[in-house]
Amino acid sequence: MSPPARVIPTWTEPAVAAASAVIGGPLGRHAVVGRSRFWTPLRVVLLGSILVLAMGWLGKAPCLQQTPDGNGGLALDWQNGRQYVAMCYTDIVTLYGDHRLAQGGLPYRENWTDPQPDGGSAAVNPHYMDYPVFTGFFLWEMARVAVRYEAVSATSSWLPTGLPEVLFFDVTAVFLAIAWLCVVWAVRRLRPVRPWDAALVALSPLVLVHVFTGLDALAVAASTVALYAFSRGRSTVAGILLGLGVAAKLYVVVLLVPLILLGLRRGGSPHRELLPAAVLTWLIINTPVIVFFTPGWQEFFRVGIGSGAEPDSLYYVVSYFTGWLGFDGTLAPGAVPWRLNLVVLGLLLAAAVGLFVLVRIAPQPPRLASLCFLAVAAVLVVNKAWSPQFSLWLVPLAVLALPRWRLLFAWMTADALVWVPRMFFYLGTDNKGLPADYFLAFVLVRDALIVLIMVEVVRSILRPADDPVRRLGADDPEWPEEPAAEEPAPEKSGEAAPEDSSARTEPATKSPAE
């Protein structure tokens, strides 16, 4: 008997079955599914994603309010820690002023210095755009669009207007929303038999809270659509998208490791076109900046190498609760934590070796999505920084690797809730905020859930029979099929070749849900 034509979550997922009681219970055994001309699963999940994205924008709206600045003008109302109390903080608003985007200078060429506390003119290192090149120029272009819109709205009585920072945020949010819709679309296309898994990506609490906190949706969209293109045998397109993703967010380069390891295990060649395309795309985007604005291009790496363990990292958690001074002890201002950097690098190399061993000992070649999730999750767990929006990197990969709704929603909810104590931790206890204990306790819960999901993914690799995707009969939906070798034509004879009864297939039996 053939596998079901479509997996029904209210039959297979206990959490979804329980939630369906609100609308009358699970789908009936004799219900007709797949006959709607308009409300297809893709359109339903895209609509749900649009609603979540709209609520995500509303969640940031309190940080877009304005107040008189005392000089007859208006300014953002971030007084008294409003961005923390309302839990609406977003990097996008601060980038407009902090990176001097309003001045229109070319990123990586223009630099600035922070004012000295004493008002003096002591020599300080200049600051440049500290984002990867694609993201930096994306921010620059969004600022140009906001400036043009402001100029047009100033001469028009019917166009709404606002502060430059607000216009910049709104324009940027439109493109981030489109990017996340691309993520939902790609996940749906990668799972034709499990179309409703895309709802986990569309309705994720992490998307609700963090899709407009930073710019990570751009890289997530590029990498997820790249996986879809690769699964369809379009390796060059996938390589271009991955190169674009690396130019937007450096973590995307980690996805090349599973591709290489799995290619070695399978002995195929689909990834051989992907790697040159990815490298060439990255070079085309970065080379002009490297050659002409070298100090500006290096800023991203300089800031990353020079930063210490951030509050979201396990290093900070251990240091806070034990009093440990860290691998580098007490550092002078501006000193580089070289020992911590070496420890992180060593752990990343150990994770790569672990993936290699896992690929070699697995009874079947692991699924690409499973390895990609493990690689990115390992980077986040051992890294010295885990900004809250970084968790978006894992959302599509976790859904593709381990589509178990109850476990994934538990992690996404807990991860999203880290935002609450984080905001009140940054508010400070002097302003009626929370001490770090609550925030770091939530961080530990989040990390524990991520490790649990990683364990379950490893288990599904070592025991393919427990893999919820492979149970449906698919080997690896993310890996393109190798072209089958043509069989030699039967020799001509006066009699017809006998029919091979073993090649005869019975018509597929349709499930009640089809």
Give the tokens for residue 253. 């380069």
Between 492 and 198, name the one with better pLDDT.
Answer: 198
Tens digit of each residue's pLDDT (9 = 90 or more) over 294-332: 999 999 999 999 999 999 999 999 999 998 888 888 888
DSSP 86-146: TT---HHHHHHHHTTGGGTPPTTT--B-PPPTTS-----PPB---S-HHHHHHHHHHHHHH
Strand 66-68 and strand 74-76: the pairing is antiparallel
Q: What is residue 193's predicted lDDT score, i.e. its pLDDT?
A: 84
pLDDT at residue number 119:
56
For 419-468, how does the pLDDT look when each residue is reduced to its tens digit (9 = 90+)?
Answer: 999 999 999 888 888 999 999 999 999 999 999 999 999 999 999 988 88
Residues 387, 388, 392, 397, CA torsion sign:
positive
The least confident of 20-29, 463-472, 473-482 is 20-29
Per residue in 216-274, pLDDT (tens digit) is 999 999 999 999 999 998 999 999 999 999 999 999 999 999 999 999 888 766 678 89
Question: pLDDT at residue 40 above 90?
Answer: no
Question: What pLDDT score does 467 carry?
Answer: 87
**Torsion sign, CA atoms 198, 200, 204, 210:** negative
Q: How far apart are CA 358 and CA 367, in angstroms?
A: 12
Rounded-to-integer distance, Cα 355 and Cα 43, Å: 36
Can you tell me the mean pLDDT for 393-400? 97
